[in-house]
Structure 1
């Protein structure tokens, strides 16, 4: 028999090997052990359900994930999912601002565990001021500057302002933040130097900053600002205590107007607390110069007609050094301390049930409840506290 050339045998071997490899690949494709690629919409759904800080870290996994996470579509999707698991923010300061957060409690829970989210150097809370949570950002106004931070991303930005008091508003339709800075009146009433009639509106965003001025009749601001559904509200006298009003700032159209209120709705800041109650503006008004053992709940039922309703509630025991940051999802009114205790003791938040007219205590573990707390965070003296009951994680950036 004639011997086949080696070159021919090698080609025949290579052909059979390719056929064998192709058959193995086909069998492998049919095998249930081979995983198909995860559809991109499923990846987005999975990522949007993760904790915000984990999502931020996953931007480094690949260019594709980074592109997905940074897209506006995913930022909005994450915020939508995060809105269903809002968190409890506790901020306090002592030459630095500390921001703790905790998941919400159930109606029968008696305690929460708080964890440090971020620390911002050289930022303090003035007595009676607050750090409200707005669309995932925490806002702090101190002097002629106000600071916006995102505890999820760690981003911190400070803006200079011309006024001594600044409140931040958010337009949910155009996803736009605007800061309303109150300027001192150039010609205040005799004997008064803290009236204002001029305002500067600072529009914030990736497209840069723009400034606009708004002028109103002179008034004296009394309470902290509160943003609800694109409107900023705060209490004032215009121009005297005999004429109390709610100042209403329309964030989208940059217009200010006054809402008439009954005289007992507004007193000094320590005695009148503006909150959001079931989507409406409300005021918790306590009797001035008296122990805090009862309060009136005033609710703005109709903005256009300036129509208010009133309910009076008795507390089971008087409250000392406490204010109200708002309500929980069940509609219970939250009362919280204004300052941290000087020594180690349980830190409690109180929930008042309007239907049962009773109070339950919820202890916040991890806040001032051990001997090493002040030493651990290098705290001394009095520390002002601010609480936001409905903080939502956001991965958006300015």
Structure 2
């Protein structure tokens, strides 16, 4: 028998006054403190207990407390996509190491859920929400590549988060012949019905919309070209999630916007990292990589940093390729493979200050049968605000 779901459309204060005639054995502040320590799945179940409890779980002081607790213990999110006739995605997470001095060599992954993933592709994960694109099916055929009609076009989506208004927004663009057209925004949550809104963009965007994008302090960044030439000037598009306005940053070197360069959050600043090896990823003989950090977006100023890697042959097997995932709050670059084949799965942490590297085995993923594409996201935090979306 399913538990009843209580409507919390009423004002929380009204519900609290209605229940004030009953003496609560535990003060509200203490209830909030206790509930903020529960995982998000348990919080969702608690909403079904009573209107009183449901009203507490949407109070700003509770959601703020829950988010602060979650941010203090960030997670690494793994989305493992099985690739066969019946595609499935499995989601796991592990605690994200916060102390570079930790000597932990093994972490057990927590399983969250699985769901069919046919004709879908994973875009990004921001503040507890994951953005997934659905690929259209024409004449019974999946078309993850550009769809040919009278014009060659495809749609690309990006997920952003405004920490001021505490809103997630999805930005979608239709690309026609390598040029971005028809910009639309969808705001998640709130009381209004979900609907796409067209917005204006005065910045021409060309090139193929790649997978690398990141949202930092309410600004969504992704790579583009300033003109339609294949050797056109590379730029970083900046989309302010709150104002829904576009801007851009020029790059000094094209390597910053190279398709293989990963955009990361480096201490609250946008950065682009890329390997110095010919194949532009990290493997057992790679000796160095470079990172470009955006110092001033208005002046288009970047700083370049080169980092020397220790010998990787004792960590990485020949033929194993590692990719940049991001930077932790402890100034560690995170690298990991994108494929899983019934073998041990490792995450690598390179200390930017000390130039050392450590390897952590993620146990639990090896139980998956078959070959998988692994998407890894850092600084994953659960946000109780997203429960208002459902």
User: TM-score of the superposition, structure 2-length normalised?
Assistant: 0.76
Computed over aligned residues only, the root mean square deviation of the Cα atoms, in angstroms, reads 2.5
Q: 1:327 matched to which residue of 2?
A: 327
Give, in angstroms, the shift of residue 142 of structure 1: 4.0
1:88 corresponds to 2:76: yes
Question: 1:10-30: CA deviations, max 9, x gaps?
Answer: xxxxxxxxxxxxxxxxxxxxx
Give, in whole Å, the separation in 2 of the partners of 1:142 and 1:309: 38
Give, in whole Å, the separation in 1 of the partners of 2:215 and 2:233: 23
Higher-Rg structure is 1
Give, in whole Å, the separation in 2 of the partners of 1:65 and 1:119: 29
Give, in whole Å, the separation in 1 of the partners of 2:246 and 2:321: 32
1:202 corresponds to 2:186: yes
Give, in angstroms, the shift of residue 304 of structure 1: 0.9
Give, in angstroms, the shift of residue 356 of structure 1: 1.6
CA 1:325–1:286 in structure 2 vs 1: closer, same or farther (change >3 Å)? Answer: same
Question: 1:282-322: CA deviations, max 9, x gaps?
Answer: 00022473464221111001111111001111222377422
Q: 2:204 matched to which residue of 1?
A: 217
**Secondary structure at 1:100's aligned position in 2?**
strand
Question: 1:155-185: CA deviations, max 9, x gaps?
Answer: xxxxxxx952100111111122221112123
Give, in angstroms, the shift of residue 267 of structure 1: 4.8
Question: 1:197-240: CA deviations, max 9, x gaps?
Answer: 44222233331224113333141134521111111101122223
Give, in angstroms, the shift of residue 139 of structure 1: 1.9
User: TM-score of the superposition, structure 1-length normalised?
Assistant: 0.75
CA 1:60–1:198 in structure 2 vs 1: closer, same or farther (change >3 Å)? Answer: closer
Q: 2:336 matched to which residue of 1?
A: 336
Q: 2:344 matched to which residue of 1?
A: 346
Give, in whole Å, the separation in 2 of the partners of 1:210 and 1:264: 34
Give, in angstroms, the shift of residue 124 of structure 1: 6.3
| Contact 1:143–1:165 (Cα < 8 Å) also in 2 | no
**166, 178, 181: which one aligns with 2:169:** 178
CA 1:202–1:61 in structure 2 vs 1: closer, same or farther (change >3 Å)? Answer: closer
More helix by share: 1
Give, in angstroms, the shift of residue 394 of structure 1: 2.0
Give, in whole Å, the separation in 2 of the partners of 1:122 and 1:388: 18
Q: 1:259 matched to which residue of 2?
A: 249
CA 1:53–1:306 in structure 2 vs 1: closer, same or farther (change >3 Å)? Answer: same
Q: 1:140 matched to which residue of 2?
A: 132
| Contact 2:179–2:204 (Cα < 8 Å) also in 1 | no
